[in-house]
């Protein structure tokens, strides 16, 4: 119940979050069998073959009894899981949405009907995420946080089968950087090796610190230069002739 209590009610715009929390809660409480495995198939009772001896048929019946016993146990376990999955799903969906979803015998069928209610909204959400990734720009404030933010946005596309490869995400990150990083990006493109996100973050942080240090030295140099020139232009004050 502690895991289930963390499932947010499905109210329309939070389908993705609801589905993730729903599956996580059932997995952690070990009640997700009906979501991960199909219903066990009923074993066919043995039929005596023509010219089969009583002993052979009896042996097959005995073997089948063990198969049937295992099936009964597995079917009961699966049925309990299926019932719990359905109850949890229905109890965490708002009344306005639940009344529009037809009942199903299995939790997987019910979840497919729930998903179909949000297909169009999911597409719109995916378009929003993709536009956000392509329009993202870095204006300072911590490049590590900037990359993690873009990586988190990209990860939200995975449940919709629109996950991005690391290499593509890395180029999107490069495209979001200002001109100061142009040489850095060119050097990467000349490398034969490919980075993952962790390597990208480490190298970008290093480059960010180098640029900040370089800009700081330049600023101090300009400041000192102006100060020296200002002092040269100031005439020493003395007694009037």
**3-class DSSP assignment, residue 153:** helix
pLDDT under 50: residue ranges of the chain: 217-234, 238-241
Question: Which of 117, 139, 164 is the C-terminal boundary of a domain?
Answer: 117
Q: Is 240 a member of any domain?
A: no
Instruction: Round to the nearest angstrom and report the end-to-end CA distance of the chain.
Output: 96
**177-214: b or e for each residue (b if 16 or more CB lie within 10 Å)?**
beeebeebbeebeeeeeebebeebbeebeebbeeeeee
DSSP secondary structure string for all residues of 15-55: HHHHHHHHHHHHHHTT--HHHHSPPPPPPPPP-PPTT--HH
Q: Is 237 a member of any domain?
A: no
Could you tell me if 17 and 96 lie in one domain?
yes
Question: Which of 117, 145, 174 is the C-terminal boundary of a domain?
Answer: 117
Instruction: Give the pLDDT score at 161.
Output: 74
Number of domains in the chain: 2
Domain that residue 182 falls in: 120-232
Could you tell me if 73 and 173 lie in one domain?
no
Could you tell me if 109 and 194 lie in one domain?
no
Instruction: Give the pLDDT score at 195.
Output: 92
- The phi and psi torsions of 10 (rounded to 5 degrees) equal -75, 115
**3-class DSSP assignment, residue 1:** coil
Task: Return d(Cα 197, Cα 116) in angstroms, integer.
Answer: 33
Instruction: Give the pLDDT score at 144.
Output: 93
pTM for this entry: 0.51
Could you tell me if 108 and 132 lie in one domain?
no
pLDDT digits over 162-171, tens only?
888 889 999 9
């Amino acid at each position: 119940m502690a895991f289930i209590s963390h499932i947010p009610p499905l109210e329309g715009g939070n389908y993705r979050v609801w589905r993730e929390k729903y599956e996580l809660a059932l997995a952690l409480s070990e009640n997700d069998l009906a979501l991960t495995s199909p219903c066990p198939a009923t074993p066919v009772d043995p039929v005596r073959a023509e010219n089969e001896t009583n002993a052979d048929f009896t042996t097959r019946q005995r073997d089948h009894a063990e198969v049937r016993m295992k099936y009964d146990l597995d079917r009961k376990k699966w049925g309990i899981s299926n019932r719990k999955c359905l109850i949890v799903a229905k109890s965490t969906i708002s009344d306005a949405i639940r009344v529009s979803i037809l009942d199903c015998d299995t939790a997987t069928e019910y979840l497919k009907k729930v998903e179909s209610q949000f297909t169009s909204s999911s597409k719109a959400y995916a378009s929003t995420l993709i536009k956000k990734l392509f329009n993202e720009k870095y204006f300072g404030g911590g490049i590590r946080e900037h990359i993690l933010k873009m990586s988190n946005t990209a990860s939200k596309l995975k449940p919709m089968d629109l996950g991005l490869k690391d290499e593509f995400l890395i180029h999107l990150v490069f495209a979001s950087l200002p001109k100061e990083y142009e040489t850095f990006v060119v050097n990467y493109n000349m490398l034969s090796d490919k980075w993952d996100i962790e390597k990208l973050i480490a190298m970008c942080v290093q480059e960010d610190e180098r640029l900040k240090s370089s800009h700081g030295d330049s600023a101090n140099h300009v400041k000192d230069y102006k100060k020296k020139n200002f002092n040269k232009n100031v005439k020493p004050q003395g007694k009037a002739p």
